[in-house]
Every structure is written in structure tokens, then in C-alpha cells.
């Protein structure tokens, strides 16, 4: 039975992820709120919110889980050419609100968004608290791609990405993965399978192993320096 969460009790524990439904894969709980307390507790236990505007808040923990080990990022020949485009520049946390708004916009093949206004405000608040971060790709001075997610300890939980030009979101992920690898991060959570993430080195692992990795890496000290940064040169 899917658990109902009390919206007035953000510290309410989530049910064990092993209780998640097999169909739809990973549905664990319904309700609650998007307070920072509840969101951070969810991520630490391998759970994330995903729902549309006409639905209540739905909480998921699918099995298997798609992850990317930062040191294993793959750069195809065509992506390498895009990375060397001198008109592209990369930054961190320079435009968080703009990135999340862009991720919420309809895109080819995705006419509806799950990033509601409530969701936007929740993650902007996490950004203010120093947990949510964005990676941006600029063409000259125009924001053309990026992604955002949540960092706890040495884990980055990816949420969404967008691209207005060829490979822009992939460029953001490559830069971010290389920086996270340099900073000792052990894991990027990609949540669910997509072919383009798999092509970049992501892999599917059992949920139990994923939760073991969270217990290990989320408890480690996080990156203490400023995330805000300018141009970063990728390694081929």
C-alpha cells in the first residue's frame, strides 16, 4: 500500500524504499509537502518527487536506479567537437532561477512539464540554503543550456536539464562531472534511464546498492568552496 504523508509534519519518516510499487515502478508515497526538510530527507534515502500539476505530490524510488560515476563520463567524438566550440562558456550557480525556469519550459518531444511553480520555489529555496546548484552553458552572453540538482555530502542528485542549441545540456553535464570528480564526489544520481545519459557513461544499478552508496557518500563532508565559477576547460 502506498503511504500517505502528512503535509503538516515535514520531519515524518519516509517508508522503506523496498515498499515502493513495482508498477508504476518506484512509486512509494503520496502527499506531504516540498519543504527543504522533507526534500533533503527524501534525497538522503534515495527518494525524489515527480508529479504533474493536476496530481498530488508523488514520491519515487525506482529499481533499478540510473547513476553516473563522475570519473566515468564518456565524451563522443561529436560531443568533443561541441565542447571545443569557442563560443560556448560554462559557469556554476550564476543563473539558478533562469535554469530551473528554462527546464520547466516545453521542449521538442516534451510538451508538458512536471516542474510546477511549487516545485520551482522549493528548489530555489534549496539553492538559497546552499544545497541546490545549477550548471550553465552560454553561447556568447546567451544562456543556451544547463541543468540543476541537489548536492548532499559527496552526491549530486540531478533533477532536470535543458538545451536550446546542439549538445548544450550534454556540455553542462560533462563540465559538471569533471568538476565533481576533481572535488571527490562519488556519484551523480540520474534517477531514471534515458538513452542519451547511457551514451555518456551512465549505468543502471540495483536500488539496494544505490542506497548503500548514498549512506556512504552523503555522510561525507561536502564540497566546502564556492560553487560559483566561470569558464571551465573540459578534458577530452
Torsion of CA 10, 99, 226, 185, to 10 degrees: 70
Helix, strand and coil percent figures for the chain, each rounded to 5: 30, 25, 45
Tell me: pLDDT of 235 over 90. Answer: no
Q: What architecture (CATH level 2) is domain 3-62?
A: 2-Layer Sandwich (3.30)
CA distance 186 to 188: 7
pLDDT band at 111 (very low <50, low <70, confident <90, very high): low
Q: Which of 102-106, 172-176, 185-189 has the lowest mean pLDDT?
A: 102-106
CB atoms within 10 A of CB 216: 14
Q: What is the mean pLDDT of the chain?
A: 92
Pick the more confident residue, 228 or 98. Answer: 98
Share of the chain above pLDDT 90, in %: 84
Pick the more confident residue, 222 or 18. Answer: 18
Q: Which of 62-76, 104-118, 133-147 has the lowest mean pLDDT?
A: 104-118
Q: Please state which CATH number belongs to domain 66-217.
A: 3.40.630.70
* Mean pLDDT on 45-56: 95
Structural contact between residues 35 and 10, judged by C-beta atoms closer than 8 angstroms: yes
The tens digit of pLDDT for each residue in 56-88 reads 999 999 999 999 999 999 999 999 999 988 789
Give this prediction's pTM. 0.93
- Strand, helix or coil for residue 116: coil
Q: What is the CA radius of gyration of the chain?
A: 17
* Mean pLDDT on 100-127: 85
- Strand, helix or coil for residue 38: helix
3-state secondary structure 8-26: CCCCCCCCCHHHCCCCCCC
Tell me: pLDDT of 232 over 50. Answer: no
Select from 58, 132, 129, 70 the least CA-distant residue to 99.
132
Asked if the domains at 3-62 and 66-217 fall in one CATH topology, the answer is no
Question: What residue spans define the domains of the chain?
Answer: 3-62, 66-217
Amino acid at each position: 500500500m502506498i503511504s500517505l504523508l502528512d503535509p503538516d509534519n515535514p520531519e515524518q519518516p519516509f517508508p522503506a524504499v523496498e515498499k515502493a510499487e513495482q508498477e508504476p515502478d518506484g512509486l512509494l508515497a503520496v502527499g506531504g509537502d516540498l519543504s527543504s526538510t522533507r526534500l533533503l530527507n527524501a534525497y538522503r534515502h534515495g527518494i525524489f518527487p515527480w508529479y504533474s500539476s493536476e496530481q498530488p505530490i508523488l514520491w519515487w524510488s525506482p529499481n533499478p536506479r540510473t547513476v553516473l560515476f563522475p570519473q566515468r563520463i564518456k565524451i563522443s567524438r561529436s560531443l568533443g567537437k561541441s565542447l571545443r566550440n569557442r563560443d560556448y562558456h560554462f559557469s556554476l550557480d550564476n543563473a539558478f532561477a533562469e535554469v530551473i525556469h528554462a527546464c520547466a519550459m516545453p521542449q521538442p518531444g516534451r510538451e508538458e512539464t512536471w516542474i510546477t511553480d511549487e516545485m520551482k520555489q522549493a528548489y530555489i529555496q534549496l539553492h538559497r540554503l546552499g544545497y541546490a546548484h545549477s550548471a550553465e552553458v552560454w553561447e556568447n552572453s546567451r544562456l543556451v543550456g544547463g541543468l540543476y540538482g541537489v548536492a548532499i555530502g559527496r552526491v549530486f542528485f540531478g533533477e532536470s536539464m535543458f538545451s536550446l542549441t546542439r549538445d548544450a545540456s550534454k556540455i553542462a553535464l560533462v563540465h559538471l562531472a569533471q568538476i565533481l570528480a576533481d572535488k571527490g564526489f562519488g556519484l551523480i544520481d540520474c534517477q531514471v534511464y534515458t538513452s542519451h545519459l547511457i551514451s555518456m557513461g551512465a549505468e543502471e544499478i540495483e536500488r539496494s546498492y544505490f542506497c548503500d552508496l548514498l549512506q556512504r557518500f552523503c555522510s561525507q563532508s561536502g564540497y566546502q568552496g564556492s560553487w560559483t565559477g566561470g569558464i571551465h576547460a573540459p578534458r577530452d
